[in-house]
Copies of this chain bind each other. A is one copy, B any other.
Amino acid sequence: MKNPKIPEATVVRLSIYSRYLTRLEQQGVPTVSSGEIAQAVGVSAAQVRKDLAYFGEFGTRGVGYGVKTLNAQILKILGLSTPWSVVVVGVGNLGSALASYRGFARRGFLIRALFDRDPAKVGRILNGLPVYGLERLPEVVRQVGASIGVICVPADQAQPVADLLVAAGIRGILNFAPQYISVPEPVLVRNVDLSVHLEVLSFGLVRRAEGERPGLAAAGNRPEE
């Protein structure tokens, strides 16, 4: 049981459990059951236990889980025990919004620098962060020790920017551009595609309207119980 293959869905849920546990911790709740976690985040209790079981035994039978210790374990599993340095490329509407999003820092993702191709934006300060030109990206990425890059540029620039980030030593990319990007082996990419989410909703809505029973199966939108 030491090093099984972990479903990505499990990792996503761990992240969500952790956020809930953090809130319980702040409220001073000492202990929680898989059923309570399940209800709070919209999954089944068996799912919660199975997800945790990939990594060890964290609970006490008949009692539940210690909120504080369980959260500490999950944070460690997720690699959040120490903070990550992040850079954002593309300071349009979305890039600016992400640069000032509090939720990232709260979970240990510290945005360290912003980049943009547009000379009119270079040199500005946004939310306390300087905007650099792309030519300084390699230098600055190394200087701030960034491991993760966020791409918020138009689709046609996404691949070149990804190449630039990879060349600078970035190891993970969060891509908001509506564009598939390819990266060499050890680098990880996650795509956040805003239109796609609306289109999946659209599909579900017209299916229902047409009186189709089944609709969608599982995932993103969680089952009620």
Contacts and interface: CB of A to CB of B under 8 A. Distances in A.
A130 B78 CA distance: 41
A214 B41 contact: no
Contacts of A80: 199, 202
A224 B97 CA distance: 31
A135 to B, nearest CB: 26
Contacts of A204: 172, 188
A94 to B, nearest CB: 5
Contacts of A78: 199, 202-203, 206
Tell which of A5, A182, A202, A217 has the most Cβ of chain B within 10 Å: A202
A79 interface: yes
Interface residues of A, number: 76
A143 interface: no
B171 A205 contact: yes
B100 A93 contact: yes
Interface in A75-90: 77-80, 84, 86
17 contacts: A6-B216, A7-B217, A8-B200, A18-B199, A40-B180, A42-B182, A77-B203, A78-B202, A79-B203, A96-B97, A103-B195, A104-B198, A172-B201, A174-B201, A180-B222, A190-B197, A190-B201
Interface of A: 3-9, 11-12, 14-16, 18-19, 40-42, 77-80, 84, 86, 93-94, 96-98, 100-101, 103-104, 106-107, 109, 147-148, 171-174, 178, 180, 182, 186, 188-208, 212, 214, 216-222, 224
